[in-house]
A and B are shown apart, each in its own frame.
Chain A
Amino acid sequence: MSRLQARDVVRSYGPTPALRGVSLDVADGEIVAVTGPSGCGKSTLLHCLAGILRPDEGAVRWNGERIDTWPEAARSRLRRTEFGVLFQFGQLVPELTAAENVALPLLLAGTGRREAGRAAGEWLDRFGVGHLADVRPGAMSGGQQQRCATARALVTGPRVIFADEPTGALDTLSGEEVLTQLVQLAREQGTTIVLVTHEPRIAAYADREVMLRDGVVDPTGLGLDETLVPLPAAGPGTDPR
Chain B
Amino acid sequence: MSTSHVLLGLLAAGNRHGYELKRAHDTRLPRAKPLAFGQVYATLGRLQRDGLVVTAGQEREAGPDRTAYALTDQGRAALAGWLAAVEPPMPYVTSALFTKVAVALLVADLNAARSYLIAQARAHTDRLRELTAVKTAPSTTLDDVVAVDYAVAHLDADLRWLRTTLARVADWHREVHP
Contact = CB atoms under 8 A, between A and B. Distances in A.
Interface string B120-158: 011001001101100110100000000000001100100
B80 to A, nearest CB: 29
A67 to B, nearest CB: 29
B167 interface: yes
A204 B152 contact: yes
Interface string B100-123: 000000000111001100100110
A118 interface: no
B85 to A, nearest CB: 27
Contacts of A183: 136
A230 B129 contact: no
Interface stretch (A43-51, A103-111, A145-153, A220-228): A220-228
Contact of B166 (A188, A207, A224, A241): A224
Interface in A199-241: 200-201, 204-207, 209, 220-225, 228-231, 233-234, 240-241
B170 interface: yes
Contact of B128 (A204, A220, A225): A204
Interface string B153-178: 10010010001001101100100000
B136 A230 contact: no
Q: Which of A204, A230, A233 has the most CB of B within 10 A?
A: A204
Nearest to B136: A183
A184 B122 CA distance: 25
A240 B110 contact: yes
A187 interface: yes
A57 interface: no
A176 interface: yes
B128 A200 contact: yes
Interface residues of A, number: 27
Interface residues of B, number: 26
Contact of A222 (B109, B122, B153): B122
Contact of A223 (B156, B163, B169, B173): B163
Contacts of A224: 118, 163, 166
B125 A201 contact: no
Contact of B111 (A207, A223, A230): A230
Contacts of B153: 201
Nearest to A200: B159
Interface string A115-151: 0000000000000000000000000000000000000
B50 to A, nearest CB: 40
B125 to A, nearest CB: 7
Contacts of B121: 222
A189 interface: no
Interface in B2-22: none
Interface string B33-59: 000000000000000000000000000
A180 interface: yes
Contact of B114 (A207, A221, A228): A228
A206 B152 CA distance: 14
B117 to A, nearest CB: 9
The 3 residue pairs across chains A and B that have the minimum distance between CB atoms: A204-B132, A240-B110, A204-B128
23 contacts: A176-B135, A180-B135, A184-B136, A184-B138, A200-B125, A200-B128, A201-B128, A204-B131, A206-B129, A207-B129, A209-B125, A209-B129, A220-B118, A222-B121, A222-B125, A224-B163, A224-B166, A230-B111, A230-B114, A230-B118, A231-B111, A233-B111, A234-B109
Interface of B: 109-111, 114-115, 118, 121-122, 125, 128-129, 131-132, 135-136, 138, 152-153, 156, 159, 163, 166-167, 169-170, 173
Interface of A: 176, 180, 183-184, 187-188, 200-201, 204-207, 209, 220-225, 228-231, 233-234, 240-241
